[in-house]
């Protein structure tokens, strides 16, 4: 489990009867493979989910208390109450194809695209609305197809190096960055794990197997990031992913995180995993918490975003990770929501509901 929001979470589930039918034709992203058996897609599920954010029982500070509160947190003394929310939009991803998406119950203030990873992001500024009586409720409902995805990996198609890969992709996803710091001992470790292996695919497999042997699953971790993961070699899915990505990047293999959820017993649980880029094949999924997770994603996933340290718009200059989800115009990752709240107290409740999880037939 990899969960970011610490507010109370209510998970609801409606039991639905499993039915069979034809797979509806969804709009496919051009750079994603067509979901057919010959491309590694099988066992589709039609899923309908609803996400709800509630801001209720708002209590504002008196003017003097607000001024003291602001100063104690390094905000301008006259900073008015602020409520900002960002959510990654639901889009076509690796083994996920959007079928229908209803408009949010409250229209976003702005919708923009993360210029680094391509995430589509919805933004709401409720700083004025929060002063009005009554709760703030955002509902988002959509349906999608998710497949069991295990592409046949033809190693003869994998190039020996990344000379044919665009520089911007290669350098961006092999860089050292917060949570994925490539310190000298980690680079040395990656080379020791892979030894004299030449094959890029085999190097990535060797790291996968090593991470699975070395790491112990512990939730929640004390802190996040690769430097914390290697202190005791323990942590949750996020720590497994951070270690795997960093070791791959240390060898010049582009790697990144996918964030989202996994459906278990009709409930959406927080989960993240990794992707690696193989020249000639493209992105391959890797879930180091799953013994069958190399080059495989099951049909229980919901992918919400790609990447770490995601750039955002409209981040206040005073916001930082001490008590907010953002810092320096970025958020560490995006699953349910990213929030900046100051100058008042309130209950922030996130609800996620699985409405359908039905078998369907491949076309």
The stretches of the chain forming alpha helices (DSSP H) are: 63-72, 167-172, 184-194, 200-214, 226-232, 237-250
pLDDT in tens, 104-120: 999 999 999 999 999 99
pLDDT at 107: 98
Question: What is the pLDDT averaged over residues 47-58?
Answer: 97
pLDDT at 363: 73
Helix axes 200-214, 184-194, angle to 10 degrees: 110
Are residues 72 and 203 part of one domain? no
Closest CA to 309 of 339, 275, 333: 333
Are residues 163 and 138 part of one domain? no
Distances, alpha carbon 268 to alpha carbons 11, 12, 68, 87, 351, in Å: 8, 9, 40, 17, 10
Enclosing domain of residue 129: 9-148+322-359
Residue 58 belongs to some domain of the structure = yes
Q: Which residues share a beta bridge with 302?
A: 261
Distances, alpha carbon 22 to alpha carbons 17, 39, 49, in Å: 16, 18, 20
Residue-by-residue DSSP string for 142-174: EEEEEEEE-----GGGS-SSSTTS-HHHHHHTT
> CATH code at 254?
3.10.620.30
- At residue 132 the predicted structure's pLDDT band, cuts being 50, 70 and 90, is confident
Are residues 201 and 131 part of one domain? no
pLDDT at 3: 55
Show the tokens assigned to 345: 């107290």
- The mean pLDDT of the chain is 91
- At residue 134 the predicted structure's pLDDT band, cuts being 50, 70 and 90, is confident
Starting at the earlier edge strand, list the strands of the sheet with 338-342.
110-113, 120-125, 82-88, 338-342
Are residues 273 and 198 part of one domain? yes
* HSE-up (13 A, CA, CB side) for residue 239: 23
pLDDT in tens, 333-356: 999 999 999 999 999 999 999 999
Domain count, the chain: 2
Q: Are 331 and 340 a contacting pair, CB within 8 Å?
A: no
Residue 4 belongs to some domain of the structure = no
Are residues 200 and 131 part of one domain? no
pLDDT at 8 over 80: no
Closest CA to 303 of 283, 323, 277: 283
Are residues 338 and 264 part of one domain? no
């Amino acid at each position: 489990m990899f969960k970011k929001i610490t507010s109370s979470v209510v998970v609801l589930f409606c039991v639905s009867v499993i039915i069979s039918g034809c797979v509806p034709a969804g709009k496919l992203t051009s750079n994603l493979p067509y979901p057919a058996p010959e491309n590694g897609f099988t066992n589709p599920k039609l899923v309908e989910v609803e996400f709800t954010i509630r801001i209720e029982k708002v209590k504002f500070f008196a003017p003097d208390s607000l001024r003291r509160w602001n100063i104690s947190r390094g905000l301008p003394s006259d900073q008015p109450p602020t409520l900002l929310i960002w959510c990654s939009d639901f889009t076509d991803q690796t083994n996920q194809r959007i079928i229908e998406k209803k408009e949010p119950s409250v229209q976003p203030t702005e919708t923009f695209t993360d210029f680094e990873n391509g995430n589509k992001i919805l933004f709401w500024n409720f700083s004025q609305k929060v002063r009005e009586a009554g709760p703030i409720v955002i509902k988002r409902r959509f349906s999608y197809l998710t497949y069991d995805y295990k592409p046949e990996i033809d190693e003869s198609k994998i190039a020996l190096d990344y000379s044919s890969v665009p520089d911007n992709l290669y350098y961006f996803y092999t860089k050292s960055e917060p949570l994925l710091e490539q310190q000298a001992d980690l680079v040395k470790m990656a080379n020791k794990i892979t030894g004299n292996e030449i094959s890029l695919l085999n190097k990535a497999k060797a790291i996968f197997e090593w991470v699975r042997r070395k790491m112990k699953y512990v939730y929640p971790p004390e802190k996040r990031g690769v430097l914390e993961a290697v202190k005791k070699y323990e942590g949750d899915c996020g720590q497994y992913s951070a270690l795997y990505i960093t070791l791959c990047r240390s060898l010049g293999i582009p790697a990144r995180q996918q964030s989202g959820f996994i459906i278990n017993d009709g409930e959406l649980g927080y989960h993240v995993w990794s992707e690696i880029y193989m020249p000639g094949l493209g992105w391959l999924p890797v879930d180091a918490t799953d013994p069958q997770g190399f080059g495989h994603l099951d049909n229980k996933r919901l992918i919400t975003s790609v990447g770490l340290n995601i750039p955002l718009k409209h981040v206040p200059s005073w916001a930082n990770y001490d008590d907010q989800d953002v810092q320096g115009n970025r958020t560490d990752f995006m699953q349910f929501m990213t929030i900046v709240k100051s100058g008042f107290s309130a209950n922030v409740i996130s609800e996620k509901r699985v409405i359908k999880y039905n078998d369907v037939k491949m076309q």
